[in-house]
Amino acid sequence: MRNLLFISRDRELANIQKLIYNFKRFDRDWVDEQTLMLMVSPDFSGIVSTIMSHGLSVEGKRMMYTDVIHVPDPTEDQQKFKDRLRRDFPTIRQSFEDTPMEKFIIAEAGVISGRNYVWIYDMLTKEFNVPQENIRTVALFENKHSQFKCDYVGEYYDNETQDLCFWWEKPNEAFGDYTSNQSQQ
């Protein structure tokens, strides 16, 4: 049985600020007005994506736009989500301006297996010809056993021994989260 890794609001916000700080430190001039924040799994990643969009926006310019990429739960058909992104990405890329978006920050609150990031990254680079240097990947929390390694990580954890749970999150059995029968202090 895994131990609960409870992420308080303060810990979540501190790691978001760490991500923004490190992004500005190591990719100071990378973000421009043609950069789009892609929020992976909006039901889990809204807070990190929104705060990062504001924190990384170009000073004196419009706020960085954010769009979403929906991904499946472990028990859902991944192909349906791939087909949706394949259909929607041309519109997402065009964004709301006359000039299409050229750079993308892919952000998620928790990268557990990394399987969704693998297919998203592959689709953007191979099907939509987004150059690798025009993509940055972000995980607020990344499982150290993830098959995908993000460019920026707030904090690593071990999904084999720790059950990641945010302060706002309702336990989700699809992810193997705690149930009342499994709780451990």
Q: What is the pLDDT of residues 143-174, one digit of tens each?
A: 999 999 999 999 999 999 999 999 998 876 65
Tell me the C-alpha to C-alpha distance, in Å, between residue 60 and each of 19, 57, 80, 160: 21, 9, 39, 44
* pTM of the predicted model over 0.85: yes
Supply the mean pLDDT for the chain. Answer: 91
Length of the chain measured in residues: 185
- pLDDT at position 177 over 90: no
Give the DSSP H/E element, type plus range, for residue 135: strand 135-143
pLDDT, tens digit, 9 for 90 and up, residues 12-67: 999 999 999 999 999 988 999 899 999 999 888 999 999 999 999 988 777 889 99
Three-state secondary-structure class, residue 27? coil
Tell me the C-alpha to C-alpha distance, in Å, between residue 25 and each of 49, 163, 179: 18, 31, 41
Question: Which domains are present in the chain?
Answer: 3-23+35-174 (3.40.50.2020)
Rounded to whole angstroms, how far apart are CA atoms 34 and 100?
A: 7
In the block, which residue shows the tokens 């978006």? 101
